[in-house]
Amino acid sequence: MCYNLSYLESKQQKYAERYKELLPGSTVKQAIQDKLPIYYFVSGFSHPLLPIVKHDGIFSFEWGLIPFWIKDNKAAKDIQDMTLNAVGETVFEKPSFRNSVNIKRCLLGINGFYEWRDANKVKYPYFIHTKSSDIFSVGCIYESWTDKNTGEIRNTFSILTTPDNPLLESIHNLKKRMPLILSQEDEKKWIDPKLTPAQINELIKPYAESDMAVFTVSQNVNSVWNNRNIPESIEKFDYPELSSL
Protein backbone atom coordinates (compact mmCIF):
# COMPACT_ATOMS: atom_id res chain seq x y z
CA MET A 1 0.00 0.00 0.00
CA CYS A 2 1.08 3.64 0.01
CA TYR A 3 0.99 5.19 3.46
CA ASN A 4 4.28 7.10 3.55
CA LEU A 5 5.73 9.50 1.03
CA SER A 6 8.11 12.37 0.34
CA TYR A 7 6.98 15.82 -0.82
CA LEU A 8 9.81 18.31 -1.23
CA GLU A 9 8.46 21.23 -3.26
CA SER A 10 8.28 24.32 -1.05
CA LYS A 11 6.82 26.77 -3.60
CA GLN A 12 3.32 26.35 -4.94
CA GLN A 13 4.33 28.42 -7.97
CA LYS A 14 6.90 25.80 -9.00
CA TYR A 15 4.41 23.01 -8.33
CA ALA A 16 1.88 24.78 -10.56
CA GLU A 17 4.52 25.13 -13.29
CA ARG A 18 4.97 21.36 -13.24
CA TYR A 19 1.27 20.91 -14.05
CA LYS A 20 0.68 24.01 -16.19
CA GLU A 21 -0.26 21.96 -19.25
CA LEU A 22 -3.17 20.44 -17.33
CA LEU A 23 -4.57 23.54 -15.67
CA PRO A 24 -6.53 26.67 -16.60
CA GLY A 25 -4.15 29.44 -17.70
CA SER A 26 -4.91 31.64 -14.69
CA THR A 27 -4.00 28.93 -12.18
CA VAL A 28 -0.24 29.19 -12.64
CA LYS A 29 -0.31 32.99 -12.49
CA GLN A 30 -2.42 32.98 -9.34
CA ALA A 31 -0.42 30.32 -7.49
CA ILE A 32 0.49 31.67 -4.09
CA GLN A 33 4.10 32.36 -3.22
CA ASP A 34 3.73 31.15 0.36
CA LYS A 35 5.96 28.26 1.28
CA LEU A 36 4.48 24.79 1.35
CA PRO A 37 5.53 22.36 4.07
CA ILE A 38 8.46 20.15 3.06
CA TYR A 39 8.07 16.48 3.94
CA TYR A 40 11.10 14.25 3.64
CA PHE A 41 8.84 11.64 5.22
CA VAL A 42 5.17 12.03 5.99
CA SER A 43 2.71 9.39 7.09
CA GLY A 44 -0.83 9.34 5.82
CA PHE A 45 -1.95 8.45 9.34
CA SER A 46 -1.16 12.04 10.35
CA HIS A 47 -3.65 13.16 7.66
CA PRO A 48 -1.51 15.99 6.27
CA LEU A 49 -2.81 18.70 3.96
CA LEU A 50 -1.22 18.23 0.54
CA PRO A 51 -1.68 20.06 -2.80
CA ILE A 52 -3.79 17.98 -5.17
CA VAL A 53 -4.30 18.80 -8.85
CA LYS A 54 -7.87 18.80 -10.20
CA HIS A 55 -9.03 19.70 -13.68
CA ASP A 56 -9.86 23.21 -12.45
CA GLY A 57 -6.86 24.04 -10.26
CA ILE A 58 -4.63 23.17 -7.32
CA PHE A 59 -6.13 22.78 -3.86
CA SER A 60 -4.95 21.72 -0.40
CA PHE A 61 -6.77 18.54 0.61
CA GLU A 62 -6.43 16.27 3.62
CA TRP A 63 -5.11 12.74 3.10
CA GLY A 64 -7.76 10.19 4.12
CA LEU A 65 -11.03 10.38 2.20
CA ILE A 66 -14.23 11.07 4.13
CA PRO A 67 -17.26 9.93 2.10
CA PHE A 68 -20.01 12.53 1.72
CA TRP A 69 -22.51 10.27 3.52
CA ILE A 70 -20.60 10.01 6.81
CA LYS A 71 -22.91 11.10 9.64
CA ASP A 72 -20.71 12.86 12.18
CA ASN A 73 -17.19 13.88 13.17
CA LYS A 74 -16.54 10.71 15.18
CA ALA A 75 -17.41 8.52 12.20
CA ALA A 76 -15.24 10.75 10.01
CA LYS A 77 -12.24 10.22 12.28
CA ASP A 78 -12.86 6.49 12.41
CA ILE A 79 -12.96 6.04 8.64
CA GLN A 80 -10.01 8.22 7.65
CA ASP A 81 -7.34 5.71 8.65
CA MET A 82 -9.08 3.14 6.44
CA THR A 83 -9.32 5.35 3.35
CA LEU A 84 -5.73 6.50 2.85
CA ASN A 85 -5.66 4.11 -0.10
CA ALA A 86 -8.30 2.78 -2.48
CA VAL A 87 -7.69 -0.58 -4.14
CA GLY A 88 -7.87 0.00 -7.87
CA GLU A 89 -9.47 -3.35 -8.67
CA THR A 90 -12.46 -2.69 -6.40
CA VAL A 91 -12.69 1.12 -6.38
CA PHE A 92 -15.92 1.09 -8.41
CA GLU A 93 -17.56 -1.27 -5.93
CA LYS A 94 -16.68 0.13 -2.51
CA PRO A 95 -19.27 2.53 -1.00
CA SER A 96 -16.52 4.86 0.25
CA PHE A 97 -15.03 5.35 -3.22
CA ARG A 98 -17.49 4.58 -6.02
CA ASN A 99 -19.02 8.07 -6.09
CA SER A 100 -15.63 9.75 -6.29
CA VAL A 101 -13.90 7.56 -8.86
CA ASN A 102 -16.44 8.37 -11.55
CA ILE A 103 -16.14 12.16 -11.54
CA LYS A 104 -13.78 13.28 -8.74
CA ARG A 105 -10.29 12.22 -9.73
CA CYS A 106 -7.13 14.18 -9.04
CA LEU A 107 -3.34 13.95 -8.99
CA LEU A 108 -0.86 14.25 -6.18
CA GLY A 109 2.65 15.16 -7.27
CA ILE A 110 5.28 13.56 -5.04
CA ASN A 111 9.05 13.05 -5.04
CA GLY A 112 8.99 9.49 -3.77
CA PHE A 113 7.43 6.99 -1.43
CA TYR A 114 8.54 4.36 1.06
CA GLU A 115 8.00 0.61 1.23
CA TRP A 116 9.50 -2.13 3.35
CA ARG A 117 11.10 -5.46 2.47
CA ASP A 118 10.70 -8.21 5.04
CA ALA A 119 13.75 -10.48 5.19
CA ASN A 120 14.66 -12.84 8.03
CA LYS A 121 12.13 -11.06 10.28
CA VAL A 122 13.81 -7.70 9.69
CA LYS A 123 12.10 -4.77 7.94
CA TYR A 124 14.34 -2.95 5.47
CA PRO A 125 13.00 0.42 4.25
CA TYR A 126 13.33 1.54 0.64
CA PHE A 127 12.87 4.91 -1.00
CA ILE A 128 11.22 4.65 -4.40
CA HIS A 129 10.97 7.25 -7.16
CA THR A 130 10.78 7.58 -10.93
CA LYS A 131 13.73 8.21 -13.22
CA SER A 132 11.91 10.45 -15.67
CA SER A 133 10.63 13.20 -13.37
CA ASP A 134 11.58 14.73 -10.02
CA ILE A 135 7.88 15.20 -9.32
CA PHE A 136 5.71 12.33 -10.48
CA SER A 137 1.96 11.86 -10.20
CA VAL A 138 -0.06 9.34 -8.24
CA GLY A 139 -3.70 8.91 -9.17
CA CYS A 140 -6.15 9.92 -6.45
CA ILE A 141 -9.85 10.45 -5.85
CA TYR A 142 -11.37 13.19 -3.70
CA GLU A 143 -14.51 14.13 -1.83
CA SER A 144 -15.98 17.01 0.18
CA TRP A 145 -17.72 16.26 3.47
CA THR A 146 -19.81 18.67 5.53
CA ASP A 147 -20.01 18.34 9.30
CA LYS A 148 -23.74 18.82 9.91
CA ASN A 149 -23.11 19.98 13.49
CA THR A 150 -20.64 22.75 12.69
CA GLY A 151 -21.06 23.41 8.98
CA GLU A 152 -17.33 22.81 8.47
CA ILE A 153 -16.42 21.49 5.02
CA ARG A 154 -13.49 19.08 4.86
CA ASN A 155 -11.89 18.29 1.52
CA THR A 156 -10.12 14.93 1.49
CA PHE A 157 -8.50 12.46 -0.89
CA SER A 158 -7.33 8.85 -1.22
CA ILE A 159 -4.45 7.39 -3.27
CA LEU A 160 -5.33 4.50 -5.57
CA THR A 161 -3.19 1.37 -5.55
CA THR A 162 -2.46 -1.42 -8.01
CA PRO A 163 -0.64 -4.76 -7.81
CA ASP A 164 3.15 -4.35 -7.67
CA ASN A 165 5.24 -4.44 -10.82
CA PRO A 166 8.08 -7.03 -10.71
CA LEU A 167 10.60 -4.57 -9.24
CA LEU A 168 8.32 -3.48 -6.40
CA GLU A 169 7.16 -7.04 -5.79
CA SER A 170 10.71 -7.99 -4.80
CA ILE A 171 10.70 -5.18 -2.21
CA HIS A 172 7.15 -4.89 -0.94
CA ASN A 173 7.15 -8.67 -0.70
CA LEU A 174 4.26 -9.22 1.71
CA LYS A 175 1.38 -6.96 0.65
CA LYS A 176 2.60 -6.58 -2.96
CA ARG A 177 0.79 -3.31 -3.66
CA MET A 178 2.03 -0.01 -5.10
CA PRO A 179 0.48 3.42 -5.68
CA LEU A 180 -1.14 4.13 -9.02
CA ILE A 181 1.62 6.08 -10.78
CA LEU A 182 0.52 7.84 -13.95
CA SER A 183 2.76 8.66 -16.89
CA GLN A 184 2.81 12.32 -17.91
CA GLU A 185 0.87 11.31 -21.03
CA ASP A 186 -1.96 9.95 -18.85
CA GLU A 187 -2.15 12.75 -16.27
CA LYS A 188 -4.62 14.88 -18.24
CA LYS A 189 -6.79 11.85 -18.97
CA TRP A 190 -7.01 10.94 -15.28
CA ILE A 191 -8.39 14.31 -14.16
CA ASP A 192 -10.89 14.59 -17.04
CA PRO A 193 -14.32 14.34 -15.34
CA LYS A 194 -15.89 13.12 -18.62
CA LEU A 195 -13.96 9.85 -18.68
CA THR A 196 -16.07 6.68 -18.83
CA PRO A 197 -15.60 3.83 -16.31
CA ALA A 198 -13.97 1.75 -19.04
CA GLN A 199 -11.50 4.54 -19.82
CA ILE A 200 -10.74 4.99 -16.13
CA ASN A 201 -10.07 1.28 -15.70
CA GLU A 202 -7.60 1.35 -18.58
CA LEU A 203 -5.46 3.78 -16.58
CA ILE A 204 -5.46 1.73 -13.37
CA LYS A 205 -2.43 -0.47 -13.93
CA PRO A 206 1.07 -1.02 -12.47
CA TYR A 207 3.66 1.53 -13.56
CA ALA A 208 6.54 0.38 -15.76
CA GLU A 209 9.44 -0.87 -13.66
CA SER A 210 11.91 0.40 -16.29
CA ASP A 211 11.25 3.98 -15.13
CA MET A 212 11.60 3.28 -11.42
CA ALA A 213 14.60 3.59 -9.10
CA VAL A 214 14.90 2.22 -5.56
CA PHE A 215 17.44 2.24 -2.77
CA THR A 216 17.55 1.34 0.91
CA VAL A 217 17.37 4.06 3.57
CA SER A 218 17.98 4.24 7.31
CA GLN A 219 15.82 2.15 9.62
CA ASN A 220 15.19 5.37 11.52
CA VAL A 221 12.07 5.62 9.34
CA ASN A 222 10.72 2.36 10.77
CA SER A 223 9.47 3.83 14.05
CA VAL A 224 6.71 6.38 14.56
CA TRP A 225 8.55 7.49 17.70
CA ASN A 226 11.51 8.80 15.67
CA ASN A 227 11.72 12.14 13.90
CA ARG A 228 11.42 10.92 10.32
CA ASN A 229 10.89 14.26 8.62
CA ILE A 230 14.62 14.85 8.14
CA PRO A 231 16.88 14.87 5.05
CA GLU A 232 18.52 11.62 6.13
CA SER A 233 15.24 9.80 5.44
CA ILE A 234 15.83 10.06 1.68
CA GLU A 235 19.56 9.32 1.77
CA LYS A 236 20.91 5.96 0.67
CA PHE A 237 21.86 3.59 3.49
CA ASP A 238 23.45 0.23 2.70
CA TYR A 239 22.75 -3.09 4.42
CA PRO A 240 25.55 -5.55 3.56
CA GLU A 241 23.43 -8.52 4.65
CA LEU A 242 20.92 -7.87 1.86
CA SER A 243 23.51 -8.77 -0.79
CA SER A 244 23.28 -12.41 0.22
CA LEU A 245 19.48 -12.57 0.22
Give, in order, the Cα–Cα distances in Å from 54 to each of 136, 190, 230.
Answer: 15, 9, 29
Q: What tens digit of pLDDT does each residue of 39-74 get? A: 999 999 999 999 999 998 889 999 999 999 999 999
Q: What tens digit of pLDDT does each residue of 98-127 get? A: 999 999 999 999 999 999 999 888 999 999
User: Tens of pLDDT along the chain (245 residues)?
Assistant: 789 999 998 877 788 889 988 887 656 555 555 677 899 999 999 999 999 999 988 899 999 999 999 999 999 999 999 999 999 999 999 999 999 999 999 999 999 999 999 988 899 999 999 999 999 999 999 999 999 999 999 999 999 999 999 999 988 777 889 999 999 999 999 999 999 999 999 999 999 999 999 999 999 999 999 999 999 999 999 999 898 76
Q: Which CATH entry fits the domain spanning 4-244: 3.50.50.60, 3.90.1680.10, 3.30.300.100, 3.10.20.740? A: 3.90.1680.10
Sign of torsion, CA 182 184 185 187? positive
